[in-house]
Amino acid sequence: MRVPILTYHGVNIAGGGYADNDHVAFAADLELIQSLQLRIVPLQWVVDQRLGRSRRDLRGCVALTCDDGSNFDYDDLDHPQHGVQRSFYNSLRRFRDHHGVRAQPDLHLTSFVIADPVARERMDRQCLVGRDWMQSRWWRAAQDSGLIAIENHSWDHNHPCLDSPGPHGLVRGDFHAVASEAQAEFEIARAQHYLAQQLAPQAPRLFCYPFGHVNDFLRADWLPRRGPAVGLDAAFGDGAAPVTMTSDRWNLPRYICGWHWRSPEALRAILESAAD
């Protein structure tokens, strides 16, 4: 198994081109993946394979994720500077309408969302354009669609727009700061509980480190010890490598659009290298 996991951010909209708009890149990348005859599979399949729970043939496969859980993941929205943006969800639907179900029968995207409604409202006002585009109302519809899974991106991202210090002395703006039992319970276990309530009877099973910040306390202590107890199977960082059977369960690598690649040619190189 050598599965590249590709990651996008719905709020990354700085223009109308591939390099400065993750929605443009996402739609183009679906076509590139198809042209390379690679198969898109749910992220959970990759985790199940890594944990020995399944024996699917995942050669030539890719998994797709997106972070932060803005409404741009699900809804087409009229950006005040850059016009109407097709959501990741509607790009998936458009791809399926154009190519048919058989082209990518397991087409799927995992959306890692921020749980705390107060933090999301603050982020919307201070970091977006104040149009209430960090809602949760779309989560269940997305999950029920079969095209998107909602997973855990922490309670409040320990975001720099929040009051500092936060609960349990958290210094804001750095997820490396989550380095005690109380802080980890607040940021990860609390989010698990809240998301499970919102999505019942389903519950989140995957965690993604905010900012890609992975510290030894979470990766090597708290998550191995507490992760399964709170319902987590694995956690994801940004290691820019394919997931293999020897990848760290609590720091599975991903490639980030706009960071690890900024053009279709660069993504093609990543995907072809993963297949070697």
Q: Which residues of the chain have pLDDT under 70?
A: none
Give me the pLDDT at residue 118, please: 96
User: What secondary structure, in 3-state letters, does 101-168 show?
Assistant: HHHCCCCCEEEEECCCHHHHHHHHHHHCCCCCCCCCCCHHHHHHHCCEEEEECCCCCCCCCCCCCCHH
Give me the pLDDT at residue 95, please: 98
CATH classification number, 5-275, choose in 3.10.580.10, 3.30.750.24, 3.20.20.370, 1.10.3720.10:
3.20.20.370
Distance CA 83, CA 16 (A): 9
| Whole-structure pTM value | 0.97
Helix (H) or strand (E) holding 170: none
Looking at the DSSP bridge assignments, the partners of residue 85 are: 77
pLDDT in tens, 90-137: 999 999 999 999 999 999 999 999 999 999 999 999 999 899 999 999
Give me the pLDDT at residue 237, please: 97
The number of angstroms, rounded, from the C-alpha of 145 to the middle of its chain's C-alpha atoms is 17
Give me the pLDDT at residue 59, please: 96
